[in-house]
C-alpha cells in the first residue's frame, strides 16, 4: 500500500496501553522539505495530544552533513551519529509513534527508502507523511 499511496499512511500497531496512545512521538528530520513537513505534523500531533515530540537527526557516516536547514527551521533536535534507519528503529523501541517524511518515491524506486524501511521494521506505529497532492 505504501508503495502506491498518494496520501500519508499510518501503520497502526497495537500499543502497550491503548488508553494512553501515544505517550511519545519521534520524528526523523534531516533538513529536507519532506522531513520538515513531517516535523510540522508531529509537532501538531504532540501539541494536540499533549505528548512530547523528539526530533531525531541521524547524520550517519556523512562527514559533510549540513545541519543548517534544521537550525534555520527553529526545531529542537537531537543528533545521532548512527545511520538514519538504525537510529529511527532504535528510537521507535521507546516511542509509541514514529513520524517520517516521504520524498515522493513510489513503486520500485521506493524499496530502499528510509520511510519504507522504518514502516516495515519499527515496533511502534509509523506515520509516513506525504506532500498533499
Spell out, as residue ranges, where the chain has pLDDT lower than 50. Answer: 107-108, 110-111
* pLDDT value of residue 110: 47
Q: What is the pTM of this model?
A: 0.87
* pLDDT value of residue 105: 54
At the second CATH level, the architecture of 9-13+22-129 is 3-Layer(aba) Sandwich (3.40)
* pLDDT value of residue 51: 94
How far is the C-alpha of 27 from the C-alpha of 40, rounded, in Å?
9
* pLDDT value of residue 131: 81
Sheet holding 125-129, edge to edge: 9-11, 125-129, 97-101, 25-28, 53-58, 77-80
* pLDDT value of residue 104: 63
Structural domain spans, the chain? 9-13+22-129
Amino acid at each position: 500500500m505504501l508503495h502506491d499511496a498518494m496520501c500519508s499512511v499510518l501503520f497502526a500497531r497495537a500499543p502497550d496501553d491503548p488508553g494512553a496512545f501515544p505517550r511519545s512521538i519521534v520524528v526523523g528530520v534531516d533538513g529536507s522539505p519532506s522531513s520538515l513537513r513531517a516535523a510540522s505534523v508531529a509537532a501538531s500531533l504532540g501539541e494536540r495530544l499533549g505528548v512530547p515530540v523528539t526530533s531525531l537527526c541521524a547524520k550517519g557516516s556523512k562527514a559533510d552533513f549540513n545541519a543548517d536547514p534544521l537550525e534555520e527551521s527553529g526545531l529542537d533536535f537531537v543528533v545521532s551519529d548512527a545511520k538514519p534507519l538504525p537510529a529511527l528503529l532504535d528510537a521507535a523501541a521507546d516511542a509509541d509513534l514514529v513520524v517520517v517524511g516521504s520524498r515522493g518515491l513510489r513503486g520500485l524506486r521506493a524499496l530502499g527508502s528510509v520511510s519504507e524501511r522504518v514502516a516495515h521494521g519499527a515496533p511502534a506505529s509509523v506515520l509516513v507523511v506525504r506532500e498533499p497532492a
